């Protein structure tokens, strides 16, 4: 049976996911077979495995750090919020049903044996399992049915490290208070704490660390400074949305939809030195970008209404008239069409709604959900911003409800040539006749540096700027170097020898 360690937090967004990824890479560097595990993940960022199963992206980048193939065993339960205190419940990579929070709280009892079996299966294949909790370790009102934090630690018989975020303030109280609220048998599982996102001089903090250790009776295993290592974020409370865009040669603005999903599709742009990215938040207007993007969403019709009600639709149309590039991914692609129909009320009470109308497509939502990895070849002789991109092959995955039918005023962007490693041949995506509005169902399409750099250079050419080569050869290579940087950084600031000791 494998060794394990579990990171639990004093709250959401304290940095558990990044720390877990760093530990995965450290243990892998030290010669062990490693896998991440998070029993229950609530996020709209998801991924499709080679088997066509859906899981949270946090465990995907942790698997990348561990240099192992991501599988749904690493994230058996994924909850995708859909509004009105409801969420889509995904177990073992497949949708079970839409549940209210109250119904799911009752349903969790049925999942304990499933989680035990899955964890034992994953443990049998690896030397070390790096586990991650969800939210706070001390949700006392939910503790009787907890399967994400101490409840999962009990199932796995795992030692626990509590992570606190000093950047938000009150770190001593949050750590001590979290441990105070644990039951006695749970306190015995806590073998140490990590103070994360520190800004300042450590020597001025040493007395505080000693005082905290005297109170909680477990060691502080490290004070980790704030860092800008480029590892993808797990959820929508990420600080990237608060960043103000610095003007660059190419300016991209992404509409931050209320139910936005898979914003990691755009992490690639941060590797390109001539690109700046800004997320257009609630109450803000779109500026004068070269590219405006409508991302994926868990609730296409509701988010389309949001765009319309906040005046963003007219701004997007005006940018398109001025020749700017408008891109829609998945739900954003559906919004750019002429009509969206929901005959089975998959998304809610609205049965039909007009789209933005920049692409001659109509979308019909269906009961079934498409979840698949795909490979696509871009069509020849596409107009506008897609020129010279013909025959390029891109890879990614699809997660969507519904299908889109292309009309006469729009041509397909490419053809799917592989689906879950099987050869196929059918149309994918679309582009308008002017070549400045395009849509696709493929998440991760921009991860191909060659494709993305050519697209950006077409934008540069339209602006009268010289073409640039990417300093990053491949996105996978870039991420791999960042995981190594993260491992080196954590080795410097954490007591890794003590963590090995805790694991036994």
- Tens of pLDDT along 290-317? 999 999 999 999 999 999 999 999 999 9
Question: For position 236, what pLDDT does the model report?
Answer: 45
pLDDT at site 85: 81
User: What was the pLDDT predicted at 243?
Assistant: 56
238 pLDDT above the threshold of 80: no
Residue limits of CATH 3.40.50.300 in the chain: 3-231+480-503
> Tens digits of per-residue pLDDT, 27-63?
999 999 999 999 999 999 999 999 999 999 999 999 9
Answer yes or no: is pLDDT of 164 > 80. Answer: yes
Nearest to 337 by CA among 372, 313, 369: 313
The DSSP call for residue 443 is B
**What pLDDT was estimated at residue 276?**
95
Helical (H) or strand (E) element with 255: strand 250-255
Please state which CATH number belongs to domain 3-231+480-503. Answer: 3.40.50.300
- pTM of whole model > 0.85? yes
Q: What percent of the chain has pLDDT over 90?
A: 88
Domain with CATH 3.40.50.880 in the chain: 250-464
Burial class (CB in 10 A: 0-12, 13-18, 19+), 106: exposed
pLDDT at 342: 96
Q: Are 133 and 148 in contact (CB under 8 A)?
A: yes
User: Above pLDDT 70, what percent of the chain?
Assistant: 97
| Second-level CATH architecture of 250-464 | 3-Layer(aba) Sandwich (3.40)
Which of residues 494 and 247 earns the better pLDDT score? 494
Q: Which residues are catalytic?
A: 330, 443
Give 178-199 as a DSSP string. Answer: HHHTS-HHHHTTEEEEEEEEE-
Longest dimension (CA), the chain: 73
pLDDT tens for 194-236 read 999 999 888 889 999 999 999 999 999 999 998 888 888 664 4
Per-residue pLDDT band at 324 (split at 50, 70, 90):
very high
Residues 159 and 191: their CA atoms lie apart, in Å, by 6
Mean pLDDT of 476-502: 97
Starting at the earlier edge strand, list the strands of the sheet with 128-136. Answer: 34-37, 128-136, 3-9, 160-165, 190-198, 220-225
Average pLDDT, the chain: 94
Q: Give pLDDT, residue 86.
A: 87
Task: Please give the Cα distance from 256 to 286 (Å, whole number).
Answer: 11
Convert the pLDDT of each residue in 54-94 to its tens digit: 999 999 999 999 999 999 999 999 999 987 788 999 999 99
**Strand-pair category, 94-100 with 128-136:** unpaired
Whole-Å CA distances, 436 to 81, 169, 328: 33, 46, 11
What is the CB neighbour count within 10 angstroms for residue 286? 19
Question: In the predicted model, what is the mean pLDDT of residues 368-392?
Answer: 95
Instruction: Let me know if 229 is exposed, middle or buried by CB neighbors in 10 A (0-12, 13-18, 19+).
Output: middle
Q: What is the mean pLDDT of residues 264-268?
A: 95
pLDDT tens digits, one per residue of 11-30: 999 999 999 999 999 999 99
Q: What is the pLDDT of residue 203?
A: 85
- Cα 376 → chain centroid: 22
């Amino acid at each position: 049976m494998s060794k394990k360690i579990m990171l639990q937090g004093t709250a959401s967004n304290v940095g558990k996911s990044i720390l877990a990824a760093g530990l995965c890479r450290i243990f892998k560097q030290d010669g062990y077979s490693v896998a991440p595990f998070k029993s229950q993940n609530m996020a709209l960022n998801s991924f499709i495995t080679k088997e066509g199963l859906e899981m949270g992206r946090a465990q995907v980048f942790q698997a990348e750090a561990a240099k192992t193939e991501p599988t749904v065993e690493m994230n058996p339960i994924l909850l995708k919020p859909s509004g009105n205190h409801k969420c889509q419940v995904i177990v073992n990579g497949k949708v079970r049903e839409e549940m209210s929070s109250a119904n799911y709280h009752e349903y969790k009892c049925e999942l304990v044996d499933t989680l035990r079996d899955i964890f034992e299966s994953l443990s049998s294949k690896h030397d070390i399992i790096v586990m991650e909790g969800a939210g706070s370790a001390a949700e006392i009102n939910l503790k009787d049915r907890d399967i994400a934090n101490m409840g999962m630690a009990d199932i796995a018989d795992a030692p626990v490290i509590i992570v606190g975020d000093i950047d938000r303030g009150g770190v001593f109280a949050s750590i001590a208070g979290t441990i105070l609220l644990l039951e006695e048998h749970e306190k015995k599982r806590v073998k140490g704490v990590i103070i994360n996102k520190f800004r300042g001089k450590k020597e001025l903090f040493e007395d505080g660390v000693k005082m905290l250790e005297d109170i909680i009776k477990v060691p502080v295993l490290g004070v980790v400074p704030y860092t800008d290592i480029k590892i993808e974020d797990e959820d929508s409370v990420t600080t990237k949305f608060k960043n103000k865009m610095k003007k660059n040669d190419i300016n991209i603005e992404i509409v931050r939809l209320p139910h936005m999903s898979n914003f990691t599709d755009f992490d690639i742009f941060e590797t390109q030195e001539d690109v700046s990215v800004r997320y257009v938040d609630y109450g803000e207007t779109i500026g004068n970008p070269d590219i405006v993007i409508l991302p994926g969403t868990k609730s296409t019709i509701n988010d389309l209404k949001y765009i319309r009600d906040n005046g963003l639709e007219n701004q997007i149309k005006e940018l398109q008239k001025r020749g700017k590039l408008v891109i829609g991914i998945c739900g954003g692609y559906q919004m750019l069409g002429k009509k969206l129909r929901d005959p089975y009320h998959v998304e809610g009470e609205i049965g039909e709604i007009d789209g933005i109308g920049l692409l001659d497509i109509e979308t019909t939502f269906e009961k079934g959900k498409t979840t698949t990895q795909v490979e696509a070849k871009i069509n020849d002789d596409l107009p506008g911003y897609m020129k010279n991109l013909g025959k390029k092959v891109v890879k990614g995955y699809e997660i969507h409800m519904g299908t889109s039918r292309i009309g006469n005023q729009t041509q397909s962007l490419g053809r799917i040539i592989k689906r879950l490693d099987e050869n196929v041949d059918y149309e994918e995506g679309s582009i308008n006749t002017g070549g400045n509005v395009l849509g696709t169902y493929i998440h991760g399409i921009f991860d191909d540096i060659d494709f993305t750099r050519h697209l950006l250079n077409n934008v540069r050419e339209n602006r009268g700027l010289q073409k640039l080569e990417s300093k990053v050869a491949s996105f996978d290579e870039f991420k791999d170097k960042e995981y190594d940087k993260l491992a080196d950084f954590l080795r410097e600031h954490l007591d890794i020898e003590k963590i090995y000791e805790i694991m036994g």
